[in-house]
Amino acid sequence: MNSDIKAAMRIKNKASYRSGKDNLAELASKNLLTKSREVLVLRGSEEYIKVNGFSIVMAAKALGKSVIQIRSWISKGYIPEPVLQVKNYGYFVYDSREMQIIRKHLYRYTKKGVSYLTKNSLDFIGDLNTEIWNYRGNQYGS
């Protein structure tokens, strides 16, 4: 009897947790990518430029994911790490175009019915990394 109650509670908790999370289609319509911070970042070895930057915390919020999940994806190589270093503080940020690329690929991937990334998500990982690094090469020469 207790196991039935515990199982029902787990299902209820899981459903309420998922219902509180925004999906990427809703996030696309909310335009959360406008909530960035203008920062000075190092371009090349000596030149600083202004960009609308997203720290990992801001990126997680803009994508509707947890900070732990974004950091996990970065450490596993599922999404590229941010490479633009903020001048006065030293932390790294994504620029707004990088965030748009990440959001676009996540949205496409979740439309296939997949709600999480694994090492088997090779098509997603390859496409996303290729587009990000091509953009970075063209934009920042890195």
Residue 88 is encoded by which pair of tokens? Answer: 């006065």
pLDDT of 116: 67
Q: At the top level of CATH, which class does the domain 23-140 belong to?
A: mainly alpha
Confidence of residue 29 (pLDDT cuts 50, 70, 90): very low
Cβ proximity of 100 and 139 under 8 Å:
no
Answer whether residue 132 shows pLDDT above 70: yes
Q: What is the pLDDT of residues 67-105, one digit of tens each?
A: 998 999 899 888 898 888 888 777 888 888 899 998 888
pTM, to two decimals: 0.68
Domain coordinates of the chain in residue numbers?
A: 23-140
Cβ proximity of 52 and 97 under 8 Å:
no
